[in-house]
Structure 1
Amino acid sequence: MKKTFTVFVLMASLSMFSILFAGEIYVSPRGNDKNAGTKEAPYLTLNHALKQAREWRRLNAPEVAGGISIRLEDGIYVQSTPLFIRPEDSGRPDSPTLISAVENAHPLISGGVAVTGWKRGSEDLRIARELRSKVWVAKAPLVGNRMVETRQMWVNGNKARRASQFPDGMMERMIDFNPEEQTITIPTHQIEKLQNAGQLEMIVHQRWAIAILRVKSIDVRGEQSVVCFHQPESHLEFAHPWPQPVIGEEKGNSSFCLTNALELLDQPGEWFQEYPSGTIYYYPRSGEDMETAEVIIPVLETLMIADGTLERPIRHIHLEGITFAHTSWMRPSYQGHVTLQGGFPLLDAYKLHEPGLPEKAELENQAWITRPETAIRVRGAEYFTFNRCTFQHLASTGLDYEWAVSSSGVENCVFSDVGGTGILVGAFPDGGFETHVPFIPLDQRDLCTDITIKNNLITDVTNEDWGCVGIGAGYVSGIDISHNEVCHLNYSGICVGWGWTSLQSGMKNNRIEANYVHHFARRLYDAGGLYTLSSQPGSVMRNNRIEHLEEAPYATNDRAFYIYLDEATDGYTIENNWCPAERFDSNRPGNRNVWRKNGPQVADEIKNSAGRMK
């Protein structure tokens, strides 16, 4: 932990004594990349500033002594491509690189573009007659000579909702789920007008995850309709055994909602983009003036990539006081979206006819996954930190320490309006690695180690893929998740571990302490405010406050808990965690977990100290 502490002492020093930096580079939305990069003549782009700093380091220029400070002035920095940070950008302990806002500035790095030219009214007959005068219409902008296709839109900073069958939060129970025919049977009422909707999608509620399926056809058979879907998601949805929708469960059948059709545009705040014309239709909320409104749609899925290697990691880069916003997530439009857990899309999955792997005799399913898209991706790095940054209006993962990151961290940041997981850390073996096979790296540097996630607010995440989480950590060692507030989530709050295995994989000494998790499991169950998987010797879960476990209206069972030790969790000390009731569960845990004093009897002093330190 000493190394992690040193990271944030260094960050504090950078903030307090930035005047000591030998090399300063200024960037402004009103600048010019032909300028000198000084305060009086700033550059226009952060890319150019990074190149200047890289050249100073390559030449060992005098500006390198004491460190380099790239200062961003107030304004919006629109990215046409992701920022690329590489090993050549690395600083040193005595000469770090700080990328930060100038005093009292609020720079925003955006992957979005404005939609302008709105006109009131539509003559499209697919819109109800009484609504045609209320709907506004605009053409999607062109970027690189191509029309921007999008699944996200923000109006005056508020996320608009894609046109849907029901108001937000409502679904309907399906009638049948047929894996052999690859069909879902639903009630016919309300869908007669959707038979010719060419871009229609179905959101399927399935225990601890959702699926987003592109509708291929609807066969109306009286009061029931049979729905077929496009490939590849149809095969994945009906072949993978966990999780699948259920029929006749203790609290009813699984649920669904149809979305993304102009015929469904009937509520203020809803929108629809027609393909291939690119026309965008929007039904304004009360008080929105579309002649003056700021409407943003995203172009980029990723805003920044920091890409190092084990041999040449990126070192000593610190970002402070910057807002990252407006990223896209297009996977469901191109190939649907069927996940295993935690928002990880399936590449392939099926049930074994005869259960068993050498490592796990009772295993009945196989699954290969890929990693979700992310706004900020960091790989192969040491001492790569974020402080006082904001991550907002993002469509998939906010920040991902993906692989071989050590002695790094995220502190005093805000994650809000994120479609997927707020912060993702560590290995979740993907591609050709079957996800239930224990991941035991030959080189322990492949793991993310000594990562600190501290004093952050993570709220209103998981708002597109409900099965994502607030903070998700896979194969990690020495992670410190403490004093965060994690709230308003559709599934679990803080999740640590992966692999469903009792074998030793390098996961160890993980710490989940003094966090405040509340208003979680709003839509999905089989959830935990604090959730763990697999053996993690030397780990602790203590002094947390967990409350407001929601009554998910379409859950098919009651499996949601304040603390949930899922399969093979072992090596944890769980103590002094406050929650209003002893609603805990374990799924085949190991025998080295220690429980001490958890529930409503925990002292108020511990309860009231959990969460962000303000």
Structure 2
Amino acid sequence: MTRSNKTLLLFTLLCLTHLSQARDFYVAKSGNDLNKGTKKSPFHTFERAIKEVEKLAGQEKVTVWFYEGTYYLDKTITLSSEYSGTEEYPVTFTAIPGAKVIIKGSKKLENLNWKPYKNGILVAQLPSGLNFDQLFINSTRQVRARFPNYDYENPLRGGKGYQQVSGGTDRRYDEWFSYNPDTFTNKDWKNPETGIVHAFQSHNWGNMQYKIKKVNKNEEKVYLDEGGWQLQRSHGIGGKGSKASWFFIDNIFEELDVAREWFFDKETNLLYYYPEEGTDLNNALVEVPVLKDLIQLKGSSEKPVKHITFNGFTFTQSLSVFMDTYEPVARGDWAIHRGGAVYMEGAENCQVVDCNFEYLGGNGVFMSSYNRYNKVSSCRFVHTGESAVAFVGLPSAVRFYQTWDDKEILGKNWEEMYKGMDLKPDPKSPDYPQNCTVENSIMHDFGDYGKQVAGVFISMSHKITASHNTIYNCPRAGICINDGTWGGHIIEFNDIWETVRETGEHGPFNSWGRERQWRGSRGLDDHFLKELTKLDAIDNVIIRNNRIANYRKSISAGNWTIDLDDGSSYFEIYNNLNLGSTIKLRDGMARKVFNNITVSAVPLGWHVWPKDSEDEIYKNIFVISGAIPGKEEPTKNFIRDVALPTDRPWSKHYDNNLYWNINYPDSFEVTAGVNFNDWQKKGYDLNATAANPLFINPQEGNFQVKDNSPALKLGFENFPMDKFGHQMTRITPYGGDFSEETLVSLEADIRVENGKQIYYTLDGSVPTVNSLKYTTAMPLKESAILKAQTFTADGLPVGFISEATFTKVKEVSYPSWYNTLIAGTYLGDKEENTKKALEAELAGAILINIAEDPDLIDATGGYDYGCYIKSIDAKKGKMWLDAGLDKDWVIQEINGTRVQNIADLQKYSQEYQGKKVSLTGARDYKRKKFKVIF
């Protein structure tokens, strides 16, 4: 045999050997775990398949194929490093192409003997040992018996499904709250201790759950047992009037009084249910969750789980977690539960692809501790109890770790904790997510139980990428970066809107950076140690090419599109389209904001910058248009500055921006009382201009500027307007109201290259290859529920069904900023006919009722009562200055008595005239006493 023939034979043998090193197993509902797991003889369960995976993992390419069906897990599937694949021999768990494979963390209740109880309620005896907090009838989540009853038309905070407390301790951990007896339930609760209180914190930064200890109707109080750990900060249940906490109570038997409610008596194992008319419970699918995490990948940095992929599954029906362990996360405001339908800890190069996460009790995907190069791609998250995707490292990886609970709940002294702190840079251990990605995914209507949640939550992580995600309809953030450890994240091409629907003082994108450099929030030298910033914020965070919109009135303060809060440092923010609100920069270092577009009635929020912040603002298009939601006064100024330095320039690079105020094209102000000429005399925007940017077609969402735009001459560069959000099957526009007709276009899933086709329906039915075939943009003239899906040339569905509701109305209501932009002029009355925050002078101090000024609430640390000191006259205000007071303090108490507003302060100044009083001021999370003689 010649040498060349030997080489050919060896190559052939190697190819055959490689082909043989691939093993397929199959799982089917009709299978049997005694089978061999072949295509013709499949296994029956997930658990059986992973036994074979363990034998071969890392030695051969292993694929476990699931035929269509619903698979119930009676225990969490946990995969350790022994199940790891390799780059050459990965392990994949996948649905058969086109098959609908559902993984449930629940148990099907069969052969129930339903009997009439009373008032339309039925009851059934369940087997012992069950302990569940959700009930699904025919795959639809039902409502646990509650007061007030669930409001299906408006289930959000403020709807009929909530009430407001009349008072409370307003201090975690809360001991009680009081209620209004005229609106509270008139039913007598035999066992109130079964009940769970779901209440928003008085500042509306999130919600909490508490068990009930007892209800005292004579005192009109609900006394609370354990709970309240679901967020940070000291504020609890309380507040007065319109600012009082909202709440509902569930799991109360006597409140089982409307259809679709249920109650489970754990003592008797009796399930009570009030069915809708026409529901046949004897033939209904009845399911209850039994698991919290469905899949766990659990390794360590030393022995990680590697190269495992989950593809094409629906994960659903897990237990809620809000009464489980939560932990405060650094000095962000949040607390988290480390768990998820798919939970990764100590994982590398693992993927979750094309999976659907729906009606879960907790988080969707949670990456905890050590994670590297993992990816969540082309997934959908809807009706999760908590966040969609979370990346959270361990506190032990942080060299200096503090939480708000340390100070406000445990009473630790932050200053004492600083002593002897580790001053080395970088992480302390590898126990954090790094170089992980969430991309091309849809996240909406999540946060069913927890309200301090996000589509993407990042904490104690490095170089996380969130790209091409569509995030909307959520109670708090679209994307939240909880802390500045360790930066390097890329947030790009996301489409975010309708966020912060139930909370306040937040943004669709929100960040904090309260690490070693952050000692307060005033931007002063002793509050912000610049030289320490890079110890934790190792790499810049990049926010680019996102569309972030705010179409509604914010719940309380802010709701900025991009909200860089306390200490957020080293950000590059460019090529972002901000609609309906603007960018906020609070105290931090080296934020570059350039080549962005903002169109809004909300001024830019420049708050509490350090004296030498190194911030740069250049080559942006800033458009002011219309009136702030809830007001009728057109916005005049571009910037609402709060407590910025006055003795030096704010920035060394603030130039080449384009300004256009449609409300006041010739008489606008840059900041309050400062016109454009005066602004330039201060040294800012020397090469800027005020002119119409000439957007191409804002009605169709194209805010690129025309070739003759003055913005281009300033150095602005157009960026793509058709790349925002996910790239699966898309409907444009994404539903909404129209009056005569609306033009709708469909885009196919980009993952299908050849022969793809979109089929759609207009009646809400599921599209198939026999449905309407899409060819070109189509005019809709009547209301429709449009559903569309991409199919391959072989007729297999790809990805998820895209759905949008179009409603024909007489007249479409648009926000003021949009109406003004399209009209080219403000359409309302320019008279100042709305109530503004009250200002008054007292002894040389200009005071503002802070409760009436959301921007000040946000800028001073969240204080929503008291008198904000806007300025103090050097001569007339000697009384305040001698006491050590200065501007930006909020006066909240005199001799221990609460000062709600200016009227209170004026009253007490008369009462204590000529006397020395103790005055309590608050500023930036600090309270201080001052001695003043009125």
TM-score interval, normalised by the smaller of the two chains: 0.7 to 0.9
Shift of the alpha carbon at 1:537?
Answer: 3.2
**Does the C-alpha gap of structure 1 residues 82 and 430 become closer, same or farther in structure 2, counting only changes over 3 Å?**
farther
Alignment correspondent of 1:462: 447
Alignment correspondent of 1:158: 140
Partners in 1 of 2:316 and 2:19 — Cα distance? 29
Alignment correspondent of 2:212: 215
* SS in structure 2 of the partner of residue 579 of structure 1: strand
Alignment correspondent of 1:97: 91
Alignment correspondent of 1:543: 545
Alignment correspondent of 2:703: 604
Q: Deviations over 1:330-355 (max 9, x none)?
A: 552xx7x8xxxxxx4569xxxxxxxx
**Does the C-alpha gap of structure 1 residues 240 and 578 become closer, same or farther in structure 2, counting only changes over 3 Å?**
closer
Partners in 2 of 1:331 and 1:413 — Cα distance? 24
Partners in 2 of 1:446 and 1:549 — Cα distance? 39
Alignment correspondent of 1:475: 460
Alignment correspondent of 1:409: 375
Partners in 2 of 1:588 and 1:489 — Cα distance? 27
Kept in 2, the 8 Å contact 1:521–1:551? The answer is: no
Indicate yes or no: 2:419 matched with 1:305: no
AA aligned opposite 2:180: P
Per chain length, whose mean CA-contact separation is higher, i.e. which structure has more relative contact order (CA < 8 Å, sep 6+)? Answer: 1
Q: After superposition, where does 1:586-605 map in structure 2 within 5 Å?
A: 586-600=585-599, 603-604=702-703
* SS in structure 1 of the partner of residue 37 of structure 2: coil
Q: Deviations over 1:410-443 (max 9, x none)?
A: 1111112211111111315389964368997755
**Does the C-alpha gap of structure 1 residues 597 and 370 become closer, same or farther in structure 2, counting only changes over 3 Å?**
closer
Alignment correspondent of 1:119: 114
Partners in 1 of 2:75 and 2:397 — Cα distance? 25
Indicate yes or no: 2:403 matched with 1:435: yes
Partners in 2 of 1:109 and 1:370 — Cα distance? 24
Gaps of 5+ in 1: 1-17, 124-131, 338-343, 348-359
Q: Which runs of 4+ in 1 moved over 6 A?
A: 18-21, 430-433, 437-441
Partners in 2 of 1:272 and 1:584 — Cα distance? 46
**Does the C-alpha gap of structure 1 residues 373 and 48 become closer, same or farther in structure 2, counting only changes over 3 Å?**
same
* CA RMSD after TM alignment: 3.1
AA aligned opposite 1:329: S
**Does the C-alpha gap of structure 1 residues 219 and 430 become closer, same or farther in structure 2, counting only changes over 3 Å?**
farther
Alignment correspondent of 1:6: none
Alignment correspondent of 1:489: 474
Partners in 2 of 1:407 and 1:93 — Cα distance? 12
Partners in 2 of 1:578 and 1:260 — Cα distance? 44
Shift of the alpha carbon at 1:258?
Answer: 2.2
Relative to structure 2, which stretch is displaced further, 79-88 or 112-121?
A: 112-121
Kept in 2, the 8 Å contact 1:429–1:435? The answer is: no
Q: Which residue, out of 110, 122, 139, partners 1:136? A: 122
Shift of the alpha carbon at 1:45?
Answer: 2.0
Partners in 1 of 2:227 and 2:139 — Cα distance? 32
Partners in 2 of 1:549 and 1:429 — Cα distance? 37
Indicate yes or no: 2:525 matched with 1:519: no
Shift of the alpha carbon at 1:225?
Answer: 0.4
Kept in 2, the 8 Å contact 1:520–1:549? The answer is: no
Gaps of 5+ in 2: 1-17, 405-416, 514-536, 600-620, 622-694, 696-701, 705-719, 729-934
Q: Deviations over 1:136-177 (max 9, x none)?
A: 32233x3xxx43121112222222122221233332221211
* SS in structure 2 of the partner of residue 301 of structure 1: coil
AA aligned opposite 1:212: Q
Alignment correspondent of 1:201: 196
Alignment correspondent of 1:576: 575
AA aligned opposite 2:503: L
**Does the C-alpha gap of structure 1 residues 69 and 611 become closer, same or farther in structure 2, counting only changes over 3 Å?**
same
Identity %: 21
Indicate yes or no: 2:16 matched with 1:27: no
Indicate yes or no: 2:354 matched with 1:388: yes
Alignment correspondent of 1:284: 275
Alignment correspondent of 1:14: none
Partners in 1 of 2:212 and 2:451 — Cα distance? 20
AA aligned opposite 2:509: L
Shift of the alpha carbon at 1:275?
Answer: 2.7
AA aligned opposite 1:403: S
Partners in 2 of 1:72 and 1:331 — Cα distance? 32
Q: After superposition, where does 1:254-273 map in structure 2 within 5 Å?
A: 254-273=245-264
* SS in structure 1 of the partner of residue 507 of structure 2: strand
Indicate yes or no: 2:302 matched with 1:317: no
AA aligned opposite 1:77: Y
Partners in 2 of 1:478 and 1:314 — Cα distance? 20
**Does the C-alpha gap of structure 1 residues 611 and 489 become closer, same or farther in structure 2, counting only changes over 3 Å?**
same
Kept in 2, the 8 Å contact 1:543–1:577? The answer is: yes
Kept in 2, the 8 Å contact 1:462–1:470? The answer is: no
**Does the C-alpha gap of structure 1 residues 496 and 330 become closer, same or farther in structure 2, counting only changes over 3 Å?**
closer
Indicate yes or no: 2:509 matched with 1:530: yes
Alignment correspondent of 1:39: 39
Shift of the alpha carbon at 1:289?
Answer: 2.9
Shift of the alpha carbon at 1:575?
Answer: 2.0
Partners in 2 of 1:431 and 1:271 — Cα distance? 44
Shift of the alpha carbon at 1:241?
Answer: 4.4
Partners in 1 of 2:586 and 2:274 — Cα distance? 46
Partners in 2 of 1:542 and 1:50 — Cα distance? 41
Partners in 2 of 1:54 and 1:119 — Cα distance? 44
- Report how many residues are paired: 538
Partners in 1 of 2:592 and 2:538 — Cα distance? 10
Kept in 2, the 8 Å contact 1:76–1:107? The answer is: yes
Alignment correspondent of 2:237: 245
Q: Deviations over 1:251-300 (max 9, x none)?
A: 52222222221222223322222232232222234553323221211001
Shift of the alpha carbon at 1:303?
Answer: 0.8
Q: Deviations over 1:573-597 (max 9, x none)?
A: 1223223223333332323343542
Partners in 2 of 1:322 and 1:275 — Cα distance? 32
Kept in 2, the 8 Å contact 1:536–1:569? The answer is: no
* SS in structure 1 of the partner of residue 123 of structure 2: strand
AA aligned opposite 2:579: P
Partners in 2 of 1:104 and 1:19 — Cα distance? 25
Q: Deviations over 1:24-70 (max 9, x none)?
A: 11112222222111111112222222221221248x5xxx1xx1111
* SS in structure 1 of the partner of residue 43 of structure 2: coil
* SS in structure 2 of the partner of residue 54 of structure 1: helix
* SS in structure 2 of the partner of residue 88 of structure 1: helix
**Does the C-alpha gap of structure 1 residues 346 and 228 become closer, same or farther in structure 2, counting only changes over 3 Å?**
farther
Partners in 2 of 1:345 and 1:243 — Cα distance? 17
